[in-house]
Amino acid sequence: MDYAPRFDMVRVINDDGSIVKGQSVDLDDEELLDLYRKMLFSRILDEKVFRLQRQGRIGTYPPFRGQEAAQVGSATVLEQSDWMFPYGRDLCATLMFGKEIVTALLYFAGHYNGGTVKEGVNIFPYGIMIPPQIPQAVGAAWAFRLRNEKNIALTYFGDGATSKGDFHEGLNIASVFKAPVVFFCQNNQWSISVPFSKQTATPTIAQKSIAYGMPGVLVDGNDILAVRKVTQEAIEHARSGKGPTLIEALTYRVQPHTTADDPTRYQDLTIVEEWKTRDPLERYQKFLETRGIWEKFELERELEEINEEISKAVEEFEKTPKTKLEDIFERVYTEMTEDLRKQKDEVINFSNTAGR
């Protein structure tokens, strides 16, 4: 017996760049070109940060190459008053929503200011453990509802997170209390070295929404316009008081899980190469070409500006004084507890003794 409900994948752009029959585009030429620039910026930054790690200038880094459409398409439809609850691979999404490159680099270098954002930028710190940001997002969204606010929370996570209790508890509570939250799963088909087929028996993540009484959507995660469309609809659904939505953006992890990983030990390289041909930037460029506006994009000038922006941020990052171990105790609570003061004193005494 087949227990799997059918979830058709939402697409707006075909592989050849043409528009899917029945779909439309509501953005003008400048807005469409700006989406490409944002993806290009994200791709170049990802490559740069990867190299910084290889040069020993930052710590472990989780690359996101191939997931630019999923992150740019979803993050850019949020309103400034909304909240984002990211996970570790969401550098791109957080930058689209207002995080600065410098503090992002500080985060990957282990600096205590790495989780900070500017005033008015509502981004929760990256969730490295899997997936504590989901219940946090639900709690924030429930608070919005109790206060009769129109804000929504959007939380990101990977396919592996859907096997954790936080995911199921979060979806259940959100649905029961109609919390205005959007659950955005970037299904890149790998939970570190565990393939999608071995961490869940369901053909899709989207169908898990049925058990919790909420809408579920399967979208082509390499199609930025499709991602934008379904996320916008989910946000409107949440903001209007109708409750949460689960989005599954199907994509693929073409890079290592992190810079500490060797994916050649468990991935089929022919499949990796196949997914590389579905690159979200290349497909979107074809779309811009078929629309007749690609020639408006001054690629060389954009590349120069993007590289200059990133270089300045890296320079500022590397001028920032490094974190001292004793400083971390002051960042746990607004006021240090007696236990933390004692631990800080022990660290200072040990450092002084070791330095003699």
Which positions are annotated as active-site residues?
253, 257, 266
Strands (E), the chain: 9-10, 83-85, 153-158, 181-187, 190-191, 194-195, 216-220, 245-250
Q: What angle do CA 88, 242, 214 make, to 5 degrees?
A: 60
Helix 224-239 vs helix 68-75: crossing angle, to nearest 10: 40
Query: Alpha-carbon distance 118 to 106, whole Å?
Result: 14
Structural contact between residues 221 and 208, judged by C-beta atoms closer than 8 angstroms = no
Question: How far, in Å, CA of 11 to CA of 170, rounded?
Answer: 28
| Cα separation, 228 vs 231, whole angstroms | 5
Do residues 182 and 228 lie in contact, with contact meaning Cβ atoms separated by under 8 Å? no
DSSP letters along 215-238, please? Answer: -EEEEETT-HHHHHHHHHHHHHHH
| Count of helix runs (H) and strand runs (E) in the chain | 12, 8
